Structure 1
Amino acid sequence: MKNSEFKDSEIKDNFYKAVNGEWIKNATIPNDHSSTGGFMDLVDNIDKTLMNDFDALKSGKMKPQNDDMVEFKKLYDLATDFDKRESDGAKPIQPLLKKIENIQSFDDLNKKLSDWTLDGLPLPFNFGIEADMKNAKYNALYASGAGTFLPDKTYYDKENPAGAKLMPVFKKMSQKLLVMAGYKDAQAKNIVDSAEQFDRLIAPNVKSAEESADFTKMYNPMSFDDLAAKSNKFDLITYIKGLIGQEPNQVIVSEPEYFEAFNKIVNDDTFAMMKNWMLVKTINGSTSILTEEFRQVGGEFSRTLSGKKEAVKKEKAAYYLAAGTFDQVIGDYYGHKYFGEKAKQDVHDMVVKMINVYEKRLSNNDWLSEDTKKMAIKKLNALSIHVGFPDKIDPLFNQFKVTGKEDGNLFTNIHNIGKLVIKDEFSKWNQPVDKSLWDMSANTVNAYYSPLENVIVFPAAILQAPFYSLKQSSSENFGGIGAVIAHEISHAFDNNGCQFDEDGNLNNWWTKEDHKHFDTLAQSMIKEFDGMPFAGQKVNGKLTVSENIADAGGLSCAEEAAKGEEDCNLRDFFINWAKIWRTKSTEQFKQLLLSIDVHAPSELRAQVQVKNLDDFYTTFDVKPDDGMYMKPADRVNIW
């Protein structure tokens, strides 16, 4: 529908449905999807394009452009050699399962603990390397708790009916997988029952999605000796020495409560349960690289969780596996082939415009003190901008060497590449952070802001209609990619990002009064969304606050930028904002996202944020009796 065909009378009542109702009525969720809509349409089109290209690569019609693509082709050949995968059966996974079974004691496990991690085997804790929040130029060691079987600790609450329904599905699936891997039925049942017991010991002590949403609370530095002393059974000092070459002075603990409870979770009484938990984790983590039956069975839980009717076709799954392993290589290919320099420059110019709008708004802000304004503008002007695809990809990919089916198999190659990735991560400890590397590949339909790097990244894949097109009006583009750009800039000043300075360090640059006022405004945003009914449940305002602050700032700043253009049409601006969020999802997927996603539901992102802007009311003549009306006193404006 053209923007002129939307009726103002319907927009005034329900903006999202007025713009997207016809589309929603006719849209069909593919059987292998949990949703369809603006973002997913782009993903599907990119998948189709790249699968066509890589089929040509496989057949020899297209030549690999570089050595990395040569190795990708070898892996893609293995991933799509379904006959070979069937003939290998469960054999590739059995040595890893045997390795777990052969562990007889904690002493036994401690002797091979570093290699255990390099092999990608699970442990009841996690260590990793990230930029130090207080010294973001250098990488630090982080420690966190273990991942649970269910998506969030809230699923383990007795009052949560979803958890009671989902755990039996997970257990039944895991049992089937173990039988397929060679275990007897009774043995598989005992393993899974025991693993569940251990999983339920972990769950109360890890952070929920809501607790994790407060990013800065991850920063809990501790002497490494003190952390190591919290484990009676694991030799963490020898373990970390084996991974980084020495004992560090400090570790940053993201879940301190977990390690306080660690000896209650991990002890001689729970050793057998822990082993079984490792077996269940390992078999579940390997199903995509075994036979088709393993893949189909291994997806039963996630399909139940998301409401998908069927697994993706095996050809597409093979593409996802190979392209995901070589993600930056594939992104580089996609960016160079399908994203033009003209579009790259145009989008870069839009980002600069949006930064200028933000600077003007910060300068004219009526609640920030002059000192805080200066620091905010300093941070804004230090923001790095990445558009389209990176200038270089991570040199780690040059190390990925794939052995063909004569000498290897898919499982072994994925396992060996995984080992390289883990080694590379730990080699970065105490080294300078390389801020030129992207966390997303260019073929990813998304964008992000990194507070530790003070950088915004817009991969080529999102820079398409309805978000952006040279054929769209400037107002439509500002209502699409412009709002996305300003959203990412706004993350520099949301409840998490505002606590980091221009260099990415966790550093309070606010006056006490300014921060207090900001916290009051953030509470208003929590209140605006908290408890909103959706999919038979309610929105969690605390979980979604940072993204809602970014949406509000993004939409408001994009609107101001649109108003600065000669061809400004606010009707087009607002309507395209609603279009980019059009989504049709299964009920299960909606409910899952309400529990774990830091974003509000797409419909509410489109519907609620416009109510905060005065121009929405004048553009569509919205009056107090209309469904879209919100009292001026209730409208939240932060940036």
Structure 2
Amino acid sequence: MQTLSKSTINISLIKDDLYQAVNGAWLKTAKIPADKPVTGGFADLADTIEKTLMADFKKLQPTTVTDPYLAEFLKFYQLAANFKKRNQLGFEPVRVYAERILKLKDLKDWQAQLGDLTFAGYPIPFPLYVEPDMKNTSQYALMADVPSLILPDKTYYQKGNPAAAALLKIYQQMLHEVLKLAGYDDALINKVTTETLAFDQLLVPHVKDSTERADYVKAYNKYSLEDFAASSSNIDLKHYIQSLIGTLPDQVIVTEPQYYAALNQLITAENFEKIRSWIFVKTVLNSTGFLSDQLRIIGGQYHRAISGSKEPMKPQKSAYYLATSQFDQVVGLYYAHKYFGAQAKTDVTDMVQKMVAVYKKRLASNNWLSQATRDKAILKLDKLGIQVGYPEKLAELYKKFKVKGNSLVENVLRFEQIANHDHYAKWGKPVDRTRWEMSAHTVNAYYNPSYNIIVFPAAILQAPFYSLDQSASENFGGIGAVIAHEISHAFDNNGAHFDEYGNLHNWWTKEDLAHFKKLAQQMIAEFDGLKTPAGKVNGKLVVSENIADAGGLSCALEAAKSEPAPDLRAFFINWARVWCMKSSLERQKLLLNIDVHAPNELRANVQPKNLADFYQTFKIQPSDGMYLPPEKRVNIW
């Protein structure tokens, strides 16, 4: 990992390009790891944690640790890392599992096994799951979602997209190699490949693209049970639901009505063989990660082509990620308890509370909200949940993961069954609003609108985001802006639709909401069409994160200014530093199409242009590259 040095900052360049001024010297020499598509920023912190934990786990043994759940993780990790055995067994451990699909005779046969197949982890083209009801988050709702396409997004299927043909060729070649290694003949390989691609094409016209999905409020579409069941005359959806949750709900929430309007023409007897091949192919490819090293490497070709990773991970590293993904919260608690200090947790919690107070103050003095809306916004902040570092207890699910025998695949498939039964068993039970969606060793943070809660895992609470060795101004430019970013999600174009309890409920006056939408449109316009090496930015796709970035930076700036002897140069420089990242062109192109975050360089450069303090701090003039005319500056929160 190459460390970004503070001494390499080109002060003279700040007026024209803040991001390059701070990160340019590092970017010129930084090398992207061959087995990853990115380096710098968040990725470097994750790489450091990866190396630290791999070194720790190499020394630990299941029989020598006192934590029984960590012991189970270590047993599983040892199975995952035993490539001698994995290579000897090849495809055999999943053959029966995969060929169960090939033995399905028709729709009726599939229908009879649908519930069991779902619990066993097989792909289903009309996936059902339980989530807190967005309009009553104290209770669970049954959700009906859509399957993933083979290409990364619906837009890739548009005529003239140059990436589509190349990616589909790689996908087909990968599938052929995997199935050949598994011992299947060319006739079956060609049949399942052709039929899988054909069914994938049938799905395309009926699903949303990434920009449409980014407006997740529109994913709440309430159907009565009768209306949902009428989506298919060929599958008994009521029977399927009963097999999953043990009862029949009054309603089903459909994320994409257009897809379910077409379900009856997709799931037909005429399409059954295409569906069967689609399930079989997805099952096989999903299994390659825990088979022989050769199958693992071949099975990752398509993902590497999309991301731009030049080489597969080394076997031991892949075993680490397989094991930690299965026991992520267990590993997170180990990391947090060993490497995250109580002083840091207290300090960051204080910073979060300070940022909430700043936000309240800004809302109270807001000049475009009415008093009624302002009062509701402040109430939402009063009810905001704050979680820092790590969860207080291990989720019950992880206590059920007990390694049995010495077969990696048997344990993987059994854990899948346990996790799926645990998931559907939530139906009818109280919603646990304290549940963490990220492990403590994840370098990230999030706001959950349905819980009205912000969460900061221990892993992100380190330099350059946060350090006891950094000045207050630097910390506010790093973790302070991240904290306020997550708070701002409560008031972005999606989060603003949820009330203080996390329920989807309009608490705005008509006039305030209309004004907010105009401001959001200005943020869309500010980013829309900006050029990057990978193409142009879609302002609508990234608007929610840009609203959060803008609110986060401006609120963190106010907090920094309230400290004794604030150093705004250090504040803005560290803001640019945390976004330092170098990634493959392939990854950049992918993210432009599917990611709701703007490219890092633009996140670093555009938001400071909206703030008067940035111009005063660095004496930015109209002739400078970082200058934006006042009438084009966007300020929402």
- TM-score bin, normalised by smaller chain: over 0.9
Structure 1 gaps of 5+ residues are none
Question: In the alignment, which of 602, 615, 618 is matched to residue 617 of structure 1?
Answer: 615
Partners in 1 of 2:219 and 2:281 — Cα distance? 28
Q: 1:34 maps to which residue?
A: 37
Contact 2:232–2:263 (CA under 8 A) maintained in structure 1 = yes
Normalising by structure 1, what TM-score? Answer: 0.98
**Which residue identity does 1:186 align to in structure 2?**
A
Tell which deviates more after alignment, 157-166 or 290-299: 157-166
Tell me the number of residue pairs that the alignment of Structure 1 and Structure 2 aligns. 634
**Which residue identity does 2:281 align to in structure 1?**
V
Structure 1 residues 57 and 404: CA distance shift in structure 2, 3 A: farther
Partners in 2 of 1:432 and 1:543 — Cα distance? 34
Q: 2:385 maps to which residue?
A: 384
Q: 1:599 maps to which residue?
A: 597
Contact 1:474–1:567 (CA under 8 A) maintained in structure 2 = no
Q: Structure 1, residues 109-153: CA drift from partner, whole Å, max 9, x if none?
A: 111110010111111111011110000111111001111111111
Deviation at 1:58, TM superposition (A): 3.6
Partners in 1 of 2:7 and 2:94 — Cα distance? 59
Partners in 2 of 1:2 and 1:229 — Cα distance? 62
Question: In the alignment, which of 19, 27, 34 is matched to residue 24 of structure 1?
Answer: 27
Contact 1:152–1:595 (CA under 8 A) maintained in structure 2 = yes
**Which residue identity does 1:312 align to in structure 2?**
M
Q: 1:113 maps to which residue?
A: 114
Question: In the alignment, which of 614, 626, 629 is matched to residue 631 of structure 1?
Answer: 629
Are 2:16 and 1:13 equivalent residues in the alignment? yes
Partners in 1 of 2:110 and 2:627 — Cα distance? 63
Q: 2:139 maps to which residue?
A: 138
Partners in 1 of 2:492 and 2:441 — Cα distance? 27
Q: 2:460 maps to which residue?
A: 462
Partners in 2 of 1:589 and 1:306 — Cα distance? 4
Q: 2:231 maps to which residue?
A: 230
Q: Structure 1, residues 191-226: CA drift from partner, whole Å, max 9, x if none?
A: 111110000101221111111100100100101221
Contact 1:475–1:567 (CA under 8 A) maintained in structure 2 = no
Q: 1:80 maps to which residue?
A: 81
Deviation at 1:7, TM superposition (A): 4.3
Partners in 1 of 2:12 and 2:462 — Cα distance? 30
Partners in 2 of 1:143 and 1:565 — Cα distance? 49
Deviation at 1:59, TM superposition (A): 8.5
Contact 1:74–1:403 (CA under 8 A) maintained in structure 2 = no
Deviation at 1:80, TM superposition (A): 0.8
Contact 2:442–2:459 (CA under 8 A) maintained in structure 1 = yes
Partners in 1 of 2:44 and 2:534 — Cα distance? 26
Q: 2:322 maps to which residue?
A: 321
Are 2:60 and 1:57 equivalent residues in the alignment? yes
Q: Structure 1, residues 7-44: CA drift from partner, whole Å, max 9, x if none?
A: 44311011111110001011000101101011111000
Deviation at 1:232, TM superposition (A): 1.8
Give the secondary structure class of the aligned counterpart of 1:12: coil
Q: 1:348 maps to which residue?
A: 349
Deviation at 1:5, TM superposition (A): 6.5
Q: 1:261 maps to which residue?
A: 262
Q: 1:578 maps to which residue?
A: 576
Structure 1 residues 275 and 4: CA distance shift in structure 2, 3 A: closer
Deviation at 1:234, TM superposition (A): 1.4
Deviation at 1:280, TM superposition (A): 1.0
Map of 1:157-306 to 2, 5 A cutoff?
Answer: 157-306=158-307
Partners in 2 of 1:332 and 1:48 — Cα distance? 17
Deviation at 1:336, TM superposition (A): 0.7
Partners in 2 of 1:596 and 1:119 — Cα distance? 29
Identity %: 53
Partners in 1 of 2:218 and 2:119 — Cα distance? 28
Give the secondary structure class of the aligned counterpart of 1:111: helix
Deviation at 1:534, TM superposition (A): 1.2
Contact 1:154–1:208 (CA under 8 A) maintained in structure 2 = yes
Q: 1:453 maps to which residue?
A: 451
Q: 1:533 maps to which residue?
A: 531
Contact 1:284–1:298 (CA under 8 A) maintained in structure 2 = yes
Structure 1 residues 326 and 85: CA distance shift in structure 2, 3 A: same
Deviation at 1:268, TM superposition (A): 1.5
Contact 1:449–1:455 (CA under 8 A) maintained in structure 2 = yes
Partners in 2 of 1:150 and 1:550 — Cα distance? 29
Give the secondary structure class of the aligned counterpart of 1:141: strand
**Which residue identity does 1:369 align to in structure 2?**
S
**Which residue identity does 1:587 align to in structure 2?**
L
Q: 1:438 maps to which residue?
A: 436
Partners in 2 of 1:140 and 1:393 — Cα distance? 24
**Which residue identity does 2:33 align to in structure 1?**
P
Q: Structure 1, residues 359-393: CA drift from partner, whole Å, max 9, x if none?
A: 00000000000000000000011000000001112
Normalising by structure 2, what TM-score? Answer: 0.98
**Which residue identity does 2:21 align to in structure 1?**
A
Partners in 2 of 1:183 and 1:120 — Cα distance? 23
Contact 2:534–2:588 (CA under 8 A) maintained in structure 1 = no
Deviation at 1:235, TM superposition (A): 1.5
Partners in 2 of 1:458 and 1:142 — Cα distance? 27
Question: In the alignment, which of 518, 521, 524 is matched to residue 520 of structure 1?
Answer: 518
Question: In the alignment, which of 480, 483, 490 is matched to residue 482 of structure 1?
Answer: 480
Q: 1:498 maps to which residue?
A: 496
Q: 1:472 maps to which residue?
A: 470
Partners in 2 of 1:506 and 1:119 — Cα distance? 33
Give the secondary structure class of the aligned counterpart of 1:140: strand
Contact 1:8–1:620 (CA under 8 A) maintained in structure 2 = no
**Which residue identity does 1:534 align to in structure 2?**
T
Partners in 1 of 2:615 and 2:548 — Cα distance? 21
